[in-house]
Amino acid sequence: MKGNSVIYSLFISTSLFLTNCEKADEPVKNNKIENLLSQMTLDEKIGQLNQYSIGAELTGPGAKEGQNKIRYEQLKNGGVGSVLNLLGAKNARETQQFVVDSTRLGIPLIFSYDVIHGYKTIFPIPLGESASWDLELMQNTAAVAAKEAAASGVMWTFAPMLDISRDPRWGRVMEGGGEDTYLGTEIGKARIRGFQGNDLSDITTIAACAKHFAGYGFSEGGRDYNNVYVGKHQLLNTILPAFKAAAQLEAATFMNAFNDIDGVPSSANEYLLRELLKGEWNYEGPVVSDWNSFGELITHGIANDKSEAAQLAINAGSDIDMEGSVYIESLKQLVEDNKVSEGKIDDAVRRVLKLKQDLGLLDDPFKYFDEEREKNTLLNADHLELARDAGRKSIVLLKNEGDLLPLKAKNIAVIGPLAKDKDSPIGNWRAQGETGSAVSFYEGIEAALPEANITYAEGCKLSIGPNNFFNEVEVEEEDRSGFQEAINVARNADVVLMNLGETAYFSGEARSRSEIGLPGLQLELLKEVYKVNKNIVLVLMNGRPLTIPWEAENIPAIVEAWHLGSMAGHSIADVLTGKYNPSGKLPMTFPRSVGQIPTYYNHKMTGRPSTDPGMVFYSHNMDIENSPQYPFGFGLSYSTFEYSPIALSKEVINKGEKLTVSVTVKNTSDVDGEEVVQLYIRDVVGSITRPVKELKGFKKLMIKAGESAQVDFEIGEEDLAFYRKDFTFGTEPGDFEVFVGTSSSDVQTATFKLN
Ligand code: BGC
């Protein structure tokens, strides 16, 4: 190694120090960072704040500008602090070696990547996995994703996405934990724990990123990148709790959002970044821009040029410039012109160096790169088994009339454009999940039912032309030539398994839809098949809630199977055959129609909630009832469960006291099954209007056939607190309702009082 004497002398002196004092404590770490910082030129500091996408998977417009030469020079001279999309232990090692050798201080790069639901082994899309309500499972899949990614040289993922969203038109709902603040927060925490483990410097863990901070899930009309208008109470009570929890859990990094909120783009939002995140919440990690989101301050129309954009972003508290070249081109001059203080730059650099230190890179820049480990880790059998288990636990049984499921029939037709599709189940944001590498639905069924007579017809196509991350999906609307074959196979079967829905690229970034029914000719195909055989099990694969009113009315059995990842076909077969009794519950409401959106369970009362017969002047649509198709928290099982009335440990609680809410749940069927018991609360009168109910707890438990289980929830003051009229956080005395049940709309009710 050459040309990096300064940093290496630091490595040596610190590691000697460490052996003398056992483990490093905070002040020691900070000393090391301060030492390093004191040796850095302003250019070198700014370089640490510059991030580029280098490698195969470029996303976004910046990729096409052909800046390779400039970037190479910057990399060589300490002008780049981290990179994204550069993968593989070998590639990463070579690049790291180049940077360590060629730069004056030899400060290593961080390698980052969007590891959203697996790296090479692909797990269910996050929305799907959220339907498992199984936090341990989600922590485990994130940990395996981290292990695989880290083995490939990745140290930092841009996940989890913590954006709460109530709009299924927004394609990015597939990346998150659904519509609910409480569930979304718990899921976010589980994923952060999974990615980061207990020690960031462990070579099997990676840094997480709480994104997108904030409000991105509330883009107007569900159209991606659109503007956001939310009131401060909604921001504090609905959108920010997941981020606050992530900050408290020390998610290593945060990411800006593309959107503005009421006129202020997130990357330039001082209130969010300096006042809340770095102020009130004492957050010490770096905030990375979203892809060129500093540059987009110009497009938003709040900056004239890159220099103004850089000034706004750094002053607001954004630390790392992903792909914008805004900081690298402008910050130096801004400091010289006294428009940005060097102190602010130092603060940002400290955060980056601290992350490098926490990852262990300042002690060994090459610790993550081991090709042997990479080979043995990716796609190993245990990971695939976990993917299968995660897949089946994510499935939601929406309807099962006449006990069509679990399958008894031996003469089975499999129909639909997704049935032999080995790619769509991998879903969008698939990291290194290979195109066409999933176990298809058909393969799963065939493997699970070797004795059955299985026929197949595609029926119709779903899209025409390229179907990938970069291209618009063109829906097939014309070609009905496959219908007849589908009708023929359906006619001769005892049961028809129809596999319909969306391909991987109907959801994800920039995949908003104005209609969210089954795309293309699928509903028409379904109706034709229904004419000849009504014994249909509709297996949906999709990245968002769909509107399926006709299907819900007519099709006897409906299974929501999302995009379940590498082992999708096996996971679905496990459920359809009864090898696994479905236990998933919807993390997001299924509306009856697009016009109903937003439809979510924890809405406010409004002044006119009446459903009195004959009353017209209330909040509703003339042409559709207010209730959703399938509510939040809903999901059936092959078992049936009966809930006892609620028992409360007391009916009045004083501040500081706790209350126990108990129910007994009986499995009244002859099959063992898991149930997600859900607890909701309503604050009847508040200083601001309050939701009709809010999830505040849940427990997933196995109850054996015929047996009962008592479930206890403890409610304390923190469960009743919210941001009040004056924006302070706390409780308000008065009456509360408590609900326990099997979904947000099927509950037992009791009341208590808070003094
Ligand atoms: C997305 C981010 C992602 C980034 C890097 C952006 O377009 O909004 O969520 O982390 O690209 O790939």
Compute the distance from residue 212 Cα to the ligand 1 centre, in Å.
Answer: 9
> Does the beta carbon of 694 sit less than 6 angstroms from any atom of ligand 1?
no
Nearest ligand 1 atom to the CA of 258 is: 8
Compute the distance from residue 533 Cα to the ligand 1 centre, in Å.
Answer: 45
Non-local (6+) Cβ contacts of 443 within 8 A are 420, 422, 569
Compute the distance from residue 741 Cα to the ligand 1 centre, in Å.
Answer: 37
Compute the distance from residue 278 Cα to the ligand 1 centre, in Å.
Answer: 22
Compute the distance from residue 171 Cα to the ligand 1 centre, in Å.
Answer: 13
**Burial of 338 per CB tally in 10 Å (0-12, 13-18, 19+):** exposed
CATH number listed for the domain at residues 641-754: 2.60.40.10
Q: Looking at the DSSP assignment, which residues form a beta bridge with residue 83?
A: 52, 111
> Does the beta carbon of 577 sit less than 6 angstroms from any atom of ligand 1?
no
Q: In this structure, what token pair is assigned to residue 316? A: 């607001």
Q: Which of 112, 117, 158 to mutate for ligand 1's pocket (most ligand atoms within 8 Å of CB)?
A: 158
Nearest ligand 1 atom to the CA of 85 is: 12
Q: Which of 82, 114, 165 to mutate for ligand 1's pocket (most ligand atoms within 8 Å of CB)?
A: 114
> Does the beta carbon of 211 sit less than 6 angstroms from any atom of ligand 1?
yes
Q: What is the pLDDT of residue 12?
A: 29
Q: Which of 110, 225, 291 to mutate for ligand 1's pocket (most ligand atoms within 8 Å of CB)?
A: 291
Q: What is the pLDDT of residue 610?
A: 76
Q: What is the pLDDT of residue 17?
A: 31
Nearest ligand 1 atom to the CA of 175 is: 9
Residue that has been written with the tokens 């679990």 in this structure: 406
**Residues comprising the chain, all counted:** 755
Q: Which residues, given as ranges, of the chain have pLDDT below 70?
A: 1-29, 55-67
CA 724 to chain centre: 28
> Does the beta carbon of 129 sit less than 6 angstroms from any atom of ligand 1?
no
Q: What is the pLDDT of residue 54?
A: 85
> Does the beta carbon of 44 sit less than 6 angstroms from any atom of ligand 1?
no
> Does the beta carbon of 52 sit less than 6 angstroms from any atom of ligand 1?
no
> Does the beta carbon of 509 sit less than 6 angstroms from any atom of ligand 1?
yes
> Does the beta carbon of 158 sit less than 6 angstroms from any atom of ligand 1?
yes
Distance between CA atoms of 393 and 131, rounded to whole angstroms?
8
Nearest ligand 1 atom to the CA of 212 is: 9
> Does the beta carbon of 55 sit less than 6 angstroms from any atom of ligand 1?
no
Is 290 a residue of the active site? yes
Nearest ligand 1 atom to the CA of 59 is: 12
Residue that has been written with the tokens 């919807």 in this structure: 586
**Secondary structure (DSSP) of 26-59:** HHHHHHHHHHHHHH--HHHHHHHTEEEE-SS---
Domain ranges of the chain: 387-596, 641-754
- Kindly calculate the radius of gyration of the chain based on its CA atoms and give it in whole angstroms: 27
Minimum CA distance residue for ligand 1 atom 10: 158
> Does the beta carbon of 57 sit less than 6 angstroms from any atom of ligand 1?
no
> Does the beta carbon of 114 sit less than 6 angstroms from any atom of ligand 1?
yes
One-letter amino acid identity for 735? D
Distance between CA atoms of 753 and 364, rounded to whole angstroms?
58
What dihedral do alpha carbons 308, 309, 312, 314 form, nearest 10°?
-120
Q: In this structure, what token pair is assigned to residue 523? A: 């509903």
Query: CA-CA distances (angstroms) from residue 250 to 175, 240, 283?
Result: 21, 15, 8
Q: For residues 535-560, b (16+ Cβ closer than 10 Å) or e, as one string?
A: bbbbbbbbbbbbbbeebbeebbbbbb
Compute the distance from residue 290 Cα to the ligand 1 centre, in Å.
Answer: 6
Compute the distance from residue 718 Cα to the ligand 1 centre, in Å.
Answer: 34
> Does the beta carbon of 60 sit less than 6 angstroms from any atom of ligand 1?
yes
Which stretches within 251-341 are classed as H helix?
A: 270, 296-300, 306-316, 326-336
Compute the distance from residue 291 Cα to the ligand 1 centre, in Å.
Answer: 6
The CATH H-level (homologous superfamily) assignment of domain 387-596 is Glycoside hydrolase family 3 C-terminal domain (3.40.50.1700)
Nearest ligand 1 atom to the CA of 161 is: 9
Q: Which of 290, 293, 432 to mutate for ligand 1's pocket (most ligand atoms within 8 Å of CB)?
A: 290
Q: What is the pLDDT of residue 158?
A: 98
Compute the distance from residue 159 Cα to the ligand 1 centre, in Å.
Answer: 10
Compute the distance from residue 569 Cα to the ligand 1 centre, in Å.
Answer: 29
Compute the distance from residue 8 Cα to the ligand 1 centre, in Å.
Answer: 34
Query: CA-CA distances (angstroms) from residue 328 to 101, 354, 598?
Result: 21, 20, 41
Nearest ligand 1 atom to the CA of 60 is: 7
Q: In this structure, what token pair is assigned to residue 7? A: 């940093």
Single out the catalytic residue among 134, 167, 180, 290. 290
**Burial of 158 per CB tally in 10 Å (0-12, 13-18, 19+):** buried
> Does the beta carbon of 389 sit less than 6 angstroms from any atom of ligand 1?
no
> Does the beta carbon of 383 sit less than 6 angstroms from any atom of ligand 1?
no
Minimum CA distance residue for ligand 1 atom 4: 291
> Does the beta carbon of 323 sit less than 6 angstroms from any atom of ligand 1?
no
Minimum CA distance residue for ligand 1 atom 11: 291
Q: What is the pLDDT of residue 67?
A: 64
Q: Which helix (H) or strand (E) holds 179?
A: none
Using DSSP, state whether 657 is helix, strand or coil.
coil
Question: Directed axis angle between helix 26-39 and helix 342-358, to 10°?
Answer: 130
Minimum CA distance residue for ligand 1 atom 2: 290
